[in-house]
Amino acid sequence: MPDGFDQFVTDRLDRLLRYATAMTCDRYLAQDIVQEALLRAQRRWGRIGAMDAPYLYVQRMVTNEYLSWWRRRASRDVASPATTIAALTPPVGDPAVHHAERDAMRARIAQLPRKQRAALVLRYYEDRSDAEIAEVLKCTAGTVRSHISRALKTLRADNRVMEVL
């Protein structure tokens, strides 16, 4: 393997997996996406490792892999992420209320359009600015604000529905 790549993976794999899991709402899909991104990064590590912030570059690769995975799968008949999440969530009788609430929120986030989901994860999980998110998603800062606003509006509406049920 190229110099420094092994150390990079050792130091950053957990963080990349957490990031991808937050974005995909599916830890198995997150593992696949991170693996694909790291395989591509390994082939180009000489150039990537010499950058000022190789982690941010690889993180962008993970984001792009997620977005392209979604485009590839959207054209096929595949179970929606919400269905996948529902199959993976613990039973309703789970005594850990915190975990149940987190899983419910992940299921609601999984139903958001992919760019809205990515914008939310970059903002609230990675604490990125509008400009940084716009650069990653290849759109304008205004579009980022629109994605986040619409996603939050949807999540708030879903939450009100959940409270009524």
Q: What are 100's two structure tokens?
A: 């149940």
Q: Give 81-131 pLDDT, tens digit per residue.
A: 555 545 444 444 445 666 777 778 888 888 999 999 999 999 988 899 999
Backbone CA torsion sign across 129, 11, 28, 90: negative
Q: What are 84's two structure tokens?
A: 């996948």
Backbone CA torsion sign across 63, 64, 65, 69: positive
Q: Is the pLDDT of residue 10 over 90?
A: yes
CATH architecture of the region 1-77? Orthogonal Bundle (1.10)
Q: Is the pLDDT of residue 58 over 50?
A: yes
Q: Is the pLDDT of residue 76 over 90?
A: no
Q: Is the pLDDT of residue 73 over 70?
A: no
Check residue 52 and give its pLDDT: 92
Check residue 164 and give its pLDDT: 42
Contact 107, 89 (CB under 8 A): yes
Q: Give 129-164 pLDDT, tens digit per residue.
A: 999 999 999 999 999 999 999 999 998 887 665 554
- Residue extents of the structural domains in the chain: 1-77
